[in-house]
Structure 1
Amino acid sequence: MAKANPLQEQLLKAGLVKKSKLAEVTREQHKARHGKAPAPSSEIQREAERARAEKAERDRVLAAQHKAQVRIAELRAQARQIIEDRKLPRSGDIEYRFSSGGAIRSLLVNEDLRRQLASGALVIVSLDGRHELLPRVAADKVRERDARLIVLDHGRDGERQPAATDAEDDAYYAQFQVPDDLIW
């Protein structure tokens, strides 16, 4: 046992206290000096728990947003790669006109490419300010990843439902003949 204080030693010698009782009192005094701080009040605990829960929710939302941004960037990179790998070489002297970004653009194509564009077998995509021709299969893969890159797709345009005004317009314009060799 460690040194006892002089009063405790005197009481022990006089026989007024037992050694076991003295040891118990010493342990209690030691616990009081070196023990844990009193437990915080329940209000403080609730506030701390609420703050932890709010922080965890904010962290979860931020992580989900970051994950979504990474996924979008990944899909865009995949679409760019598909375009770079599958673009068709353009050749010819026929201007094929289409609208893109509110302006009328044109590509030089040959007769075969023009026919494929008109039938929907080829699609025009925009990549870094330039326009490329893609086969239908590759264009569908690009559409799955980033549909904004598709500029002209005659195959998809035919899938939309015609409105009632389209039928009226068709009936009106049926009275006018269109030349067979008209190229816009």
Structure 2
Amino acid sequence: MMGLADQLLKAGLVDKKKAKVVHQNKSKQQKDDRRAGVETVDEAKLAAQELQRANAEKARLANAERDAAAQQKAISAQITQMVQQNKQSKGNNGDIAYNFTFGTKIERIYVTNAVREHLVAGRLVIVGEGGGYELVPRVIADKIAERNADIVVRVKQASTEVDEDDPYADFKIPDDLMW
């Protein structure tokens, strides 16, 4: 492989003496730099290292996303398994419409009177899973809520406290009112 100095010599642009002096000066400068502790910067090497760091960071982010997706899938499978193993019957041919809010919508399931009493008392909890709604015991619903609280429907218990300034304080709402 022919260096630049060799090419210039061959082309006749410089003579051997001048090329030798330039080579000696370059060698001397490199020797002085080594003694002074100055490192020569190899830009190609730095660029390759930076590219390698960038690729490693990109791979790390891709792995983190894949792991997060796998974790979410595992949690979803756990929830489905808990619901399927612990779902309670809504009652055969339930004739009472039980309304509840799920997210921003008002939904309705039909239950028997006994199941409705368990829902109102908080012993059973509604869980929205797989496009439908299932009833599970409160203990299971608490475990599901630890994994995904958005699919658990919490029934708010009616408060017995009456605000002093409430203009409707004299008009009590019956416990068995269906809405």
Q: What TM-score do the two structures reach when normalised by structure 1?
A: 0.64
Q: Do 2:163 and 2:169's aligned partners in 1 also have CA atoms closer than 8 Å? A: no
- 1:175, distance to aligned residue in structure 2 (A): 2.9
* Distance in 1 between residues matched to 2:109 and 2:165, nearest whole Å: 29
- 1:87, distance to aligned residue in structure 2 (A): 0.6
Q: Identity of aligned pairs, percent?
A: 35
Q: Does 1:97 align with 2:92?
A: no
Q: Do 2:103 and 2:150's aligned partners in 1 also have CA atoms closer than 8 Å? A: no
1:43 maps to: 43
Q: Flag the 1:169–1:116 CA change in 2: closer, same or farther, 3 A.
A: farther
| Secondary structure of the corresponding residue to residue 140 of structure 2 | helix
Contiguous gaps of at least 5 residues in structure 2: 1-40
1:36 maps to: none
* Distance in 2 between residues matched to 1:106 and 1:121, nearest whole Å: 18
Counterpart amino acid of residue 169 in structure 2? A
Q: Does 1:183 align with 2:149?
A: no
Q: Do 2:162 and 2:169's aligned partners in 1 also have CA atoms closer than 8 Å? A: no
Q: Do 1:122 and 1:153's aligned partners in 2 also have CA atoms closer than 8 Å? A: no
- 1:64, distance to aligned residue in structure 2 (A): 0.8
Q: For residues 98-157 of structure 1, give each alpha carbon's deviation from its aligned partner in whole angstroms, at most 9, with x where no partner exists.
A: 12354332222222211211122111111222111110111111112222221x212xx4
* Distance in 1 between residues matched to 2:122 and 2:44, nearest whole Å: 68
1:1-184 to structure 2, matched below 5 A, reads: 42-91=42-91, 92-150=94-152, 152-154=153-155, 157=156, 171-184=166-179
Contiguous gaps of at least 5 residues in structure 1: 1-40
Q: Flag the 1:64–1:51 CA change in 2: closer, same or farther, 3 A.
A: same
Q: How many residues align?
A: 136
The structure where helix makes up a greater share of residues is 1
Structure showing greater radius of gyration is: 1
Counterpart amino acid of residue 182 in structure 1? L
